[in-house]
Each structure stands twice: as C-alpha cells, then as structure tokens.
Structure 1
Amino acid sequence: MNRITNRIKTYVVLSVLTSLLYACVPSKIIREENKTTPHTFHNKSIDSTNTATIQWKEFFADPNLISLIDNALANNQELNIILQQIDIAKNEIKIRKGEYLPFVNAYAGVETEKASKYTRNGAVEEQLNIHEDEKFPDPLNNFSAGISASWEIDIWKKLRNGKKAAVFEYLSSIEGKNFMVTNLVSEIANSYYELMALDNQLTIIEQSLQLQKEAQKMIRLQKEAARATQLAVSRFDAEVLKNKSSLYLIKQKIIETENKLNFLTGSYPKHIERNSDNFINIAFDTIYTGVPSQLLVNRPDIRKAEYELSAAKLNTKIARSNFYPSLDIKAGVGLSAFKPKYLTSAPESLVYSLAGDIVGPLINRNAIKAEYNTATNKQLQAIFEYEKTILNAYIEVENELSNIQNLKESFKLKEQQVNALSESIDLSIRLFKSARAEYTEVLLTQREALDAKIEIVETKRDQLLAAIKMYQALGGGWN
C-alpha cells in the first residue's frame, strides 16, 4: 500500500513540475490570411460563366497547335523534372508516416569477452560451475537472436502534423505542376502565333518588294526619258535594298521561333507545321471571366500558395511541440546463451526488456525558441505570398480585359489605315506617270503601306496573345 501511495505522489510531483516548466512555452498570435476579393471585375456584370473551365483542346481549334502542345506535355524536360519532384514529395509522405509508427528490428549476433580474474566478473566466473565438472567458459562467448522495438508516442501530434505537412507539400507540388502546364500551354501558343505572324510579315515584305521593283523599273525608264533624276533612282534602289535586308532578319526570327517550339516540345530542330494564310482572320470565342472569387479555385498558383501556407501552419505547430517532453518506449525479446546449443533451452535462455523515457528540454532552450520563431516567420511569409498571388491574379485579369478591348479598337483603325494606303499606292503611281506627283510621294506611300500592313499583323498577333493570356490568367490550360 505504501508503495502505491509513493508512486502516486511521485507522478503528481512530476506532473506539477512539468506543468510549471512548460507553462512558459512561447506562443505568437499570427493573423489569418485575407482571402477576400472584389465581387466583380471592372465594368463587368456578375456572371459565373468562366472560360477557364474549358479544356485547352477545346479552347484552341488549330490541329497543328494541339499536336505541338500534346508533344510538349509528353516530352518537355522541365515538366518531366517537376513530375519527379511530385514523386519525391509522395515519398516524403511515406517517410513522415513511418516516423510515428513503431520501429521493429530483428537481430542476431555473437560476441566474445575475456574478463580479467582480478575483476568482479572474472572472480565470479572462476567460482561458478554451470554443470558438475564443467567450468564457466573462458573466454566467454555470447550468442543472441531476437526482436527489438522502439516507439515515440506522439503525444503532442508532432509526428502526425509532420505527415500532414508532407501531404500539403505533395499537393503543392501537384499544383506547381499544373501551373507549369498552364505556362507551357500558353508559351507554345504564343510562340506558334508569333511564328504565323512572322510568316505573314515575310509575305507582306515580299509582295511589297514586287511593287517596289516595278516602281524601280518605272523610275529607270523615266530617267532614260529624262523625266526623272538619278536621285530618284537611287532612293528607290535604297528602299529595295532595305526591304531585302528586312527579309533576312525575319527569316532568322522564324528559325529562332521554330527552334524555341522544338525545344519546348523536347525535339531537335525541324520544320513546324502550320497554315499561316488565314492568320489575319483567326479569332477566339468570347472569353467569359466569371467572378474574381473563382480565381481561388481555378488558378493553380493560388492553390499552390494555399497548400504551402497550410504546411507552414503545421510546421509552426511542430516547432512549438519541441518545447514539450517526448515519450519513448523501447522493448525487446529474444534468446541469449554462451553456447548455441543452449539457445533452445527456454525459458532459461529467454531475455526481454521494457523501458520508457520521458525527455524534455530544461536548460538552454534558445535553439528551440529560434526554430519556433523561424517557423512563425515562415508562416507569415506564406500568408503574404498567398495574398500577393491572389492580388496578382486579379490584376492580371484586369490588365488583359483592358488590353483586349483596346487592341480590338486599334485593329479596326489599322484595317481602315491599310485599306486607305493600299488605294493610295495605285493612285500615287498613276499620278506620277502623268507627272502630277513627285517620286517621293510614291516612295513614301509604299513605305507607309508596308509599315501599316506589318503593324496590323502585329496587332492581330497581340490580340491572339492577349486572349491566350486572359485564358491563362483566369486559370485555364492545365485541366
């Protein structure tokens, strides 16, 4: 009865000491993340229809572009690197899960020990007999085999929180892959339409060169008839040489853009299949933005930041639990004897052990405090990163909404400009032939028409890229 009473008193004293010791565990109040977004985008009505839910194979109608994206998703090296990172994160979950389960090991061993006769063990062995007329072995061998186990009891959920944090990091890596897919789809589409725009610019310059060569021939005939000067001939010659030079620059850009697409698809340089003839008439269906709160669900980078924040919160809890004592249980059972033949003589050769340890930091806890402070700082970083990602997503959509509208108006005006200048080319040539216009007017009209045609191609390209950017900004392209 006295023994039981003494044990109860001991447990009470230990509990009180532990409570007093860990009552001063630091705890920082960290604000919650702000998930609020505006109810709608600027000058947009509230409508939940969202283009981001459309799969990229439906968003892009060009079969050549779809084939390029398919190849990239299978062969892009950077994407494959990220897929390996996902597998690494999955393995980390298994590692963390194994940490809070018991560790069980099987062992077998043999050892030899020679004790001095002038030590306690040696003197005892000298006097002992195992059986009649059989002395204690000298040197003493020991053969053993058995099972040992160790288990850290997860009182404060430190190990389970570690496993949950690993799960969030795994989910974050998946969203990182999805964000990579979104960027990859967007980059391939951008480069593809850039390539088509370059093809059209090349065609425009070649057509312009034909007109300029005809004008150049006409100026030479005028000079022979003494109706024009060498200055006019030289000016037209210079203009033709200038545009021929531009041809080579565009051809180089075409090669580089093709090779960029080849790199993104994981292949060596080859021709990229495309049909650029109808480039100026390509159009996407109307893009529906939905409501800003849908960005939290559709954008992989926002979900990635959210999972990273959840992992950071758990890491803070893990760092705080380091202030509390840990409980370790160790146990073992097996057979041990100085000769192998005695190993089967149970229960005489049976050995077992059971021990439990409570260990906690008492003095010099500065390192643990520093780890806890670091964890809270990282949690705050994750909060700011999450809020920044949401804000950036909203602003990207707003920018592209404005960009699409302004490019639409700009394209209409450039169409009118091109039509007007195209008519002016024929008119300027007829006026020059009838000596009612100077050669400089012909030259400037052709130059302005060429610049206007190239600009309208660039504007069309920018319209297509803005639509792709909007699709990406809304969170489309990864599903």
Structure 2
Amino acid sequence: MNNLKPQIKLGKGFLLSCFIAVTLFSCVPTKNIREANINTPNQYKNAQKDTTNTATVKWKSFFKDNDLIALIDVALSNNQELNIMLQKIGMAQNNIKAKKGEYLPFVNAFVGADVDKVGEFTRNGAVEKNLNIREDEEFPEPLTNYSVGLSASWELDIWKKLRNEKKAAVLEYLASIEGKNFMVTQLISEISSAYYELMALDNQLTIIQQNLDIQQNALRMVKLQKQAARTTQLAVSRFEAEVYKNQSNKFEIKQKIVETENLINFLVGRYPQPVTRHSETFLTKQVDAIYTGIPSQLLTNRPDIKHAELELSASKLNVQVARANFYPSVGISAGIGFEAFKPKFLTNTPQSLAYSLIGDMVAPLINRNAIKAEYSTANNKQLQTVFEYEKTVLNAFIEVSNQLSKVENLKESYRLRENQVNSLTEAIDLSIQLFKSARAEYTEVLLTQREALDSKIEIIETKRNQFIANIKLYQALGGGWN
C-alpha cells in the first residue's frame, strides 16, 4: 500500500460476481458417504450381562505392587515416546490458534519510503515537464514518496470454510489427546508385563538352583554307588551331563534377566540399573478378578476408539471445507494513512490523507480439476476413516474376547499344573529311595528330576501369563489411561 488512492470499488462488478456465484452454486458436486456401523454384540461370550467394568478403575488402584506403581509413575514422566506425543499435542493446539486467526480480520501497520525518476520522453515525464506551474511548485526530481498508516484485509467466511477448518483442527487436537491416552495404556501394559516377566525369571533361576542342588546330591550318590560297583560309569556321565545342562540354563536365564531389566529401564527412560522387586512372593500373589461390563462400553472407554471417532468427525468437516472451494470467496481490504512527497507534509490534512476500500468476489469458473480432485480426496479420506473406525471397534471387541477366554483357560491350567508339580515333587524323593534300594533305574531318577524341573518352570510361566493376560484384558477394556 505504498500508493494509497482515495477509491471505493463496489458496484456493477461486484453484482456480476454475485450473479456468477449463484449460477455456479448449482454446479457444485455432492457425494454421499455412508455412516459408520457402531452396532456391537449385547454381551461377551460366557460372560454375564453386567455393566460393572474394571476399565473404570484407575491404574494405581488396579495394580497392588508398590514397586511396579513407582516404575509406572517414573515412566509417565520420563518415557521419550510419550514426551514426543505431548509435543504433537502442543502442535495440534497451536494449529487451532492458527485456524482461528484465519477467519478474523488482519490489520497491519506500515511505513514506507520510495523514490521515482521518470524519463522526460515518457507520458508521465512529458506531463510533468509541460505542466503550467510556477517554478517553486514543480515536481521534485527525483520524486520521493513517504507513507504511513494502517491496512486491513478480511475474507468473509460466508460458506463457513474457515470456521470448519478451525473445528476440524479442534477435533484433531482432541484426537491427539486420545492418541496420547492410548499410548499411556500401552506403556503401562508393557512395563507391567515386563515386570512380571522379570519376577518369573527370578523364580525360574531359583528353581533351577534348587534343582541343581538335588542333582548334585544325586550325582554324589551315583559316584558312591559306582565305587561300590552297584552302578556303571554310564550312570555317572548321564547325571553329570544333566548338571551341566542346568548350569548352562542358569546363565541363559541370567542373561534374560539383564535384558528384561534393561527393557524396563528403557521404558522408564533411564540408563541400565537394577529394578527393585520382591520376586519371592510371585507364586503366592493373587490374580484379581476382572469385570468386563458390556461391549457398548468400549466405545466410551477405549482411547483408540475415541481417537478414531474424532478423526471421523474431522474428516466430515474436511469434506465441507473442500466443497466450499467451489464457492466464490468474498474479501474486503481497506487502508488509511498519510502520503506525501516530503515528510513535513505528512501531517497536513486533508491534503496528505489517503484511504481505500475494496471489496471483491472470486469464484472458480474454468478448469476446476484441482478443486474437484481435492474434493474427491476428502471424500475418500472420509470413507477411509469410516472403515478405520469400524476396524478399531471390531478389533477392540475381539481383543477383549480373546483375553477373556485366555484368563479363564489359564486359571484352569494353573490349577492342574499345581497338582502336577506336587505329584512330581513327591516322585523325586521316591525315585531316589527306589534307586538306593536298587528297585529303580538311574534313568527313572533322571527323567523324574527333569520332569519335575520342567513342571516347576511351566507353572511359573503359567502364573506369569495369568498376570499378563489380566493386564491385557484391563487394557483391552479401556483401562489404564485415567
């Protein structure tokens, strides 16, 4: 706005644009997209139809282990992935401010200075040269120009394009929050699963050490029997091989403990260090019952479903934004200030006063392929989010169904494995007594010890799987983020 001219451009051109806009209004394409199917089954298989839902329990109340709660607390502050997500939320919030500012008037202050020297043999030069004015009133050469004032521009959002963009930005922001909540549930699930895996490994290491003590005692017994010519070197070698095997397994478990500890440290956002836990109570810990509620509660409890729902709402608004591009845009621009060829004249009014007011309407008329393509893309994205929402709901129901079945089956499996461990523990002592009295072969002793060890390892793994299945069911129901 360096050259402000007193002018108002509103008239026949504006009215003609209005006529063209009305004519083009009927040429705007419309495409209907089906609504998302949100019907869910009435209840889960083999579950009572009860609205009591463990997903509403806060994670600090769901977990009873203070060491685990402390780890999760630190992770929610230090985990890098979660902090990255928080920055994305901040960017989405800034986008709302940017979109909100687009449908408000823009007002700028300006100060300008320029110099102009025209040739004498040009239209402007010839006019200035031949003006019949006094010598002290001639145009300065070169001609300077100074201006100061305010300018404003405003696009009238008559089709709600800019407001819909702002609403879509708000929905994207809310969706990013739900994305963060879903990440929190995943983080809590990963840490707690790794924590119980670590406790299980500790117990497996203890069991292997106890079994090694038994095997080494048996090995000493077999060596004594060989010296007494009651058995052969073959039996001694077989017992020694079994001891070496379990000593090797012990180091493998130690390595797994280190790796699991470091996985927890990574999730917590700290360098490798010992993880505090009390593994001696692992097998005596009770696995709490979980109430699943009804499937329709997943729509409000699970952050990933709410995220998909918000993305679907945003995509609908984006379709309206893309459709508004077919309509004419109406803009108003104005300016007011002072302009003079010498700074001392800037304050002389009304001689140096300059203003302008311009209204225009611009509508796409020919070659609208880009706008049509953008509109088609917005419709395709909306349909895509419909499918993604339906997929998320279906996946959530299947996850709950799978984990619910797993919890029940593991409960029965653990009960049977307890009986197996008790029977094989008794069989170890019995096989040794029979071997001493030459009523059993050494292979029976070895086989019994091996089966007893395997059963104890398996019951520890089953207990671990019970805890993890409960955690996964709690997560699948939508718990853990509140």
TM-score range, shorter chain: over 0.9
Query: Is residue 193–residue 471 contact of structure 2 (8 Å, CA) maintained in 1?
Result: yes
Aligned pairs for 1:25-36 (under 5 A) are 25-36=28-39
Match of 2:4 in 1: none
Match of 2:335 in 1: 332
Aligned pairs for 1:251-290 (under 5 A) are 251-290=254-293
Query: Is residue 150–residue 330 contact of structure 1 (8 Å, CA) maintained in 2?
Result: yes
Report the CA distance shift for 1:134/1:10 in structure 2 as closer, same or farther (over 3 A): closer
Q: For 2:431, which of 428, 432, 439 is the aligned residue?
A: 428
Match of 2:74 in 1: 71
Q: For 2:353, which of 339, 350, 373 is the aligned residue?
A: 350
Match of 2:176 in 1: 173
Match of 2:95 in 1: 92
Match of 1:374 in 2: 377
Report the CA distance shift for 1:118/1:9 in structure 2 as closer, same or farther (over 3 A): closer
Report the CA distance shift for 1:9/1:140 in structure 2 as closer, same or farther (over 3 A): closer
Query: Is residue 33–residue 383 contact of structure 2 (8 Å, CA) maintained in 1?
Result: yes
Tell me the TM-score normalized by structure 2: 0.96
Counterpart check, 1:306 vs 2:309: yes
Match of 1:455 in 2: 458
Give 1:10 shift: 7.9
Match of 2:480 in 1: 477
Counterpart of 2:186, as a letter, is: N
- Identity percentage of aligned residues: 66
Query: Is residue 76–residue 82 contact of structure 2 (8 Å, CA) maintained in 1?
Result: yes
Aligned pairs for 1:181-192 (under 5 A) are 181-192=184-195
Query: Is residue 17–residue 362 contact of structure 2 (8 Å, CA) maintained in 1?
Result: no
For 1:19 and 1:85, how far apart are their aligned partners in 2? Answer: 42
Counterpart of 1:105, as a letter, is: N
For 1:437 and 1:10, how far apart are their aligned partners in 2? Answer: 111
Unpaired stretches in structure 1, ≥5 consecutive residues: 1-6
For 1:173 and 1:181, how far apart are their aligned partners in 2? Answer: 12
Report the CA distance shift for 1:266/1:152 in structure 2 as closer, same or farther (over 3 A): same
Query: Is residue 25–residue 327 contact of structure 2 (8 Å, CA) maintained in 1?
Result: yes
For 2:115 and 2:128, how far apart are their aligned partners in 1? Answer: 14
Deviations 1:387-412 (A, max 9, x none): 10000000101001110010000001
Report the CA distance shift for 1:274/1:131 in structure 2 as closer, same or farther (over 3 A): farther
Give 1:9 shift: 8.8
Give 1:115 shift: 1.4
Deviations 1:29-85 (A, max 9, x none): 100111111111112222111101111110001110001000100100010000000
Query: Is residue 283–residue 464 contact of structure 1 (8 Å, CA) maintained in 2?
Result: no
Query: Is residue 79–residue 177 contact of structure 1 (8 Å, CA) maintained in 2?
Result: yes
For 2:461 and 2:85, how far apart are their aligned partners in 1? Answer: 34
Give 1:25 shift: 1.2
Match of 1:56 in 2: 59
Deviations 1:211-233 (A, max 9, x none): 00000000000000000000000
Counterpart of 1:21, as a letter, is: L
Report the CA distance shift for 1:94/1:364 in structure 2 as closer, same or farther (over 3 A): same
Q: For 2:422, which of 419, 430, 439 is the aligned residue?
A: 419
Counterpart of 2:462, as a letter, is: T
Match of 2:225 in 1: 222
Give 1:127 shift: 4.1
Deviations 1:146-178 (A, max 9, x none): 100111111111000000000000001100100
Query: Is residue 14–residue 361 contact of structure 2 (8 Å, CA) maintained in 1?
Result: no
Deviations 1:300-352 (A, max 9, x none): 00000011111111111111110111001110000000000000001100000
| Larger relative contact order, structure 1 or 2 (CA cutoff 8 Å, min sep 6) | 2
Give 1:15 shift: 4.4
Deviations 1:61-111 (A, max 9, x none): 111000100010010001000000000000000010111111111000100
What is the aligned length?
A: 473
For 2:132 and 2:96, how far apart are their aligned partners in 1? Answer: 56
Report the CA distance shift for 1:169/1:289 in structure 2 as closer, same or farther (over 3 A): same
For 1:131 and 1:103, how far apart are their aligned partners in 2? Answer: 44
For 2:354 and 2:13, how far apart are their aligned partners in 1? Answer: 29
SS at match of 2:480: coil
Query: Is residue 336–residue 351 contact of structure 1 (8 Å, CA) maintained in 2?
Result: yes
For 1:64 and 1:44, how far apart are their aligned partners in 2? Answer: 33
SS at match of 2:104: coil
Give 1:119 shift: 2.0
TM-align CA RMSD:
1.5
Report the CA distance shift for 1:33/1:74 in structure 2 as closer, same or farther (over 3 A): same
**Higher mean C-alpha displacement, 219-228 vs 45-54:** 45-54
Counterpart of 1:285, as a letter, is: D
Match of 1:206 in 2: 209
SS at match of 1:25: coil
Match of 1:18 in 2: 21
Query: Is residue 130–residue 136 contact of structure 1 (8 Å, CA) maintained in 2?
Result: no
For 1:441 and 1:330, how far apart are their aligned partners in 2? Answer: 97
SS at match of 2:91: helix
Report the CA distance shift for 1:389/1:190 in structure 2 as closer, same or farther (over 3 A): same
Q: For 2:397, which of 394, 398, 418 is the aligned residue?
A: 394
Unpaired stretches in structure 2, ≥5 consecutive residues: 1-9
Give 1:17 shift: 3.6
